[in-house]
Amino acid sequence: MLTEVRFALPENARPSRHRLFIAVLVTATALRVITMLGYPPAQLYWYDSFTYLDTAHNLRPSATFHPVGYPLFLRLLAPFHSVTVVAAVQHVLGLATGLIIYLSLRRHRLPAWAATLAAVPLLFDASFLRLEHAVLSDTLFIFLIVAALALVDRTPLAAGLLLALAGLTRTVAVPLILLVLIFLLVRRHWRPALTFALTGILPLLLYATWYQTHHGHFALSGADGVALWARTMTFADCRVIDPPPDEARLCPTEAVQDAASEYVWDPAAAINRLPGGRFTHNTLARNFAIRAIKAQPFDYLREVLKDTAITFAWTPIPHPARVTPAFGFAQGTQTLPNQPLIAQAHHNYSDIKGIQSVEPYASFLIAYQYPAYLRGPMIAMILLAGAYAALRRPHLAALPFITATYLLLAPIAVLDFDHRYVLPMIPVACWAAALAFRPKDAPARKS
């Protein structure tokens, strides 16, 4: 007699429990396929994209704004010799980030609709589609942050390593290692805290040592002082600061810009008048900036808050005025300038060329991007919901909410507002906000 054998999936693993999210994920995948078809091969920016590609090919620590994390990612994909492949992998990372958010929230007993809703901005906002399609570090950065937060309670070793990689992708993430460590210590998770600290700090120390062998000083970046100096140029008054003679050379000149970051590149700005190039004066610039902030703390705070407020406008505000924010899908062909870095990239990537729109996909995305954009007041509501969740359930929501707030404020505090810099905080803020809908006293699912 044959015995019937039945294999039963655990209730929380049955696909029927995730039908809503599966439908959302399939639709989000289709949007990314349309993006690939509408704008081949990938969005390339002068000068950021080509600096990343060059560093990936000639692997070395950069003395400018770009640490080695994203170039390492590009180097893994270098055998394909295709920026199209880079864009495709980044689109997959975007989908994976949404999946991580959903699964993490479901583990905390959130209903399927709430967990799905938390992933919707990341999966459907046209700004994320464009970001994933660009040879820029942000998509990888977002993935690493979200994955690290998802693993803090479960695998602190992996969480520490992921946050270290995030810090090597964009140095603004480095303080998050301290934030998570404090979170673990407050909860008296002593051994996980030690594991997390070791895996979070060791890669940074190794990279700083490697950086020292190339540039002569122990650091992660050679541009942090230049960035902070540019931040102070919107308010610095040397009559109040009274800097010593060497720093006085960095006092404001007749250069006037409408955004702090513009001073980094303005030939008339003080740092660009010094011999040797702006980044050779990084330490001097840092010293001046710290002195300026100490002398004018309220002016500094005013500028940071003023730029932060741009986030919450209904209609995207150009900042600086020369840029077109948010709505970047357009028709036509974008040509690349004649630059040595671009010529070098042609040797390493077979499909390097200016991005071009392809119909009918481009027209669809151009129309789609206007309604599919998270408006400023909506971001404010998400942050308020996250704050409520953090107060209501601090053991679950405090860490993602504080992380989101930090990711919003930190880039502005150390350099400037940029619509692109706002995007990494949105998935984490949505994660925190969704926890406001967690059923009362619902235990988390075990893995």
pLDDT of residue 325: 62
The pLDDT of residue 338: 85
- Residue 444 and residue 171: Cα distance in Å, rounded? 33
Structure tokens at 184: 């673990």
Residue 342: what residue type? I
CA terminus-to-terminus distance, the chain: 37
140 HSE (CA, 13 A, CB side): 24
pLDDT the model gives residue 78: 95
Whether 255 contacts 241, CB under 8 Å: no
What pLDDT does 14 receive? 65
How big, in percent rounded to 5, are the helix, strand and coil portions of the chain?
65, 0, 35
SS3 427: helix
CB contact at 8 A, 433 and 382: yes
> Quick check: pTM over 0.75?
yes
Is there a contact between 135 and 42 (Cβ–Cβ < 8 Å)?
Answer: yes
> What's phi and psi for 178, nearest 5 deg?
-65, -40
Q: In this structure, what DSSP letter does residue 3 have? A: P
Q: Record the tokens describing residue 75, joined without a space.
A: 């180097």
Q: Do 177 and 161 touch, CB atoms closer than 8 A?
A: no
Separation CA 419–CA 214 (nearest Å): 33
pLDDT value of residue 4? 45
386 CB neighbour count, 10 Å cutoff:
27
CB 398 within 8 A of CB 351: no
Predicted confidence at residue 231, as pLDDT, reads: 98
Q: What is the pLDDT of residue 12?
A: 55
* 356 DSSP β-pair partners: 333
Which parts of 249-368 are beta strand (E)?
A: none
Q: What is the pLDDT along the chain (447 residues), one digit of tens a residue?
A: 444 444 343 445 566 689 999 999 999 999 999 999 999 999 998 889 999 999 999 999 988 888 999 999 999 999 999 999 999 999 999 999 999 999 999 999 999 999 999 999 999 999 999 999 999 999 999 999 999 999 999 999 999 999 999 999 999 999 999 999 999 999 999 999 999 999 999 999 999 999 999 988 899 998 999 999 999 999 999 999 999 999 999 999 999 999 999 999 999 999 999 999 889 999 999 999 999 999 999 999 999 999 999 999 999 998 988 876 667 899 988 888 888 888 888 889 999 988 889 999 999 999 999 999 999 999 999 999 999 999 999 999 999 999 999 999 999 999 999 999 999 999 999 999 999 998 776 555 544
CA distance 33 to 22: 17
CA angle 391, 394, 396 (to 5 degrees): 130
Alpha-carbon gap, residue 397 to 165, rounded angstroms: 23
- Whether the CB-CB separation of 20 and 120 falls below 8 Å is answered with no
